[in-house]
Structure 1
Amino acid sequence: MIILASASPRRQELLKLITKDFAVMPSDIDESVPSNIETEKSPEYLAEKKAKHIFENGHKNDTVIGCDTGVFIDGKMLGKPKNKQDAKDMLAELSGRTHKVITGCCICKNGTVNSFSVVTEVEFYPLTEKEIESYIATGEPMDKAGSYGIQGKGSLLVKGIVGDYFNVVGLPVARLNKELNG
């Protein structure tokens, strides 16, 4: 059986492109990252931690997939906003600039651990304060890393991307499919 160690509805929807036969078991772990882990390696570190937690707690005969996505700019990671002001600050920082979205994935199966990261570059249009406030008013940014969702109204902020679109949504499906079946 395939187990997705994530509660994300977006990841669940995307995993259905690979298989309809999977269970969802969110991993309830401490998501702190040790200081010796490179900032851009933190999604892969957390993905592995999530997958291993489920795998080692009663699911050693299953295939467990862990994922974590981060938004990175100027060497720092932008998480989910704490409040509207935090979302406004993040969107202002991303305005008119290119940033990286990195999704770390980990597959635990048959006693092996296979981890990888996929990087997509996203460029935002320059945003006015009014555009930022209007987007925040939709409520969409509040549960998303970097304060935007490319698959929703956040798409209106994006000038272009280089790399895997689905990676920005939260699951690099083509690479994950290759790793699962390779």
Structure 2
Amino acid sequence: SYARAIAVSRQLMINDDLGAIQDMLSSYGSTVALFEEITFYSSALNAKLADGQTVFHASHNNLAGAGAAIDVTTVSNGRAAMAKQKSLDDNPLLSNSPSIILTGPDTITAAEMLVASITPATAQTVNIFSGRLTPIDTAQIAGNPWYLFPNPEAGSNYRWGYLEGYEAPRVRIENPFG
């Protein structure tokens, strides 16, 4: 759980003829959304698992060589690596083909170009990734890293949740004692 407290004096509430307090509180929606995005990506991409390694690590067979550009060959290699992933008890995973390519702002155009729908003139120019991957970008990924993720509807390793009954940020006003 996360919380932020903002102290507002009685004098400020009385003198708030322009509605500044309400404006400040109503503008927190985007602040909360950014906080959730930062929190999610720092955990999803950098958290350490039970084995002491980060989520994406060479020992998990889910990390390509550094600096691999987004192109047909590297995405094909990523796709093959995902298909070969195994569970902790060494069983193959079901429905682990990629449907999302997640990038930062520096590589989103390359990802969009990779999946662009084109009409090929020859069999050699067919875009095999057209319609198979959805490019998504976030400012939380700096530089050239990119990630492949399976279809969330087929099951995902990531869950973002709220306490029951609190599916959105809430504001509570406590009147001072006395």
TM-score normalised by L of structure 1: 0.28
Which structure has the highest helix share of the two? 1
The structure whose Rg is larger is 2
Which structure has the highest strand share of the two? 1
TM-score normalised by L of structure 2: 0.28
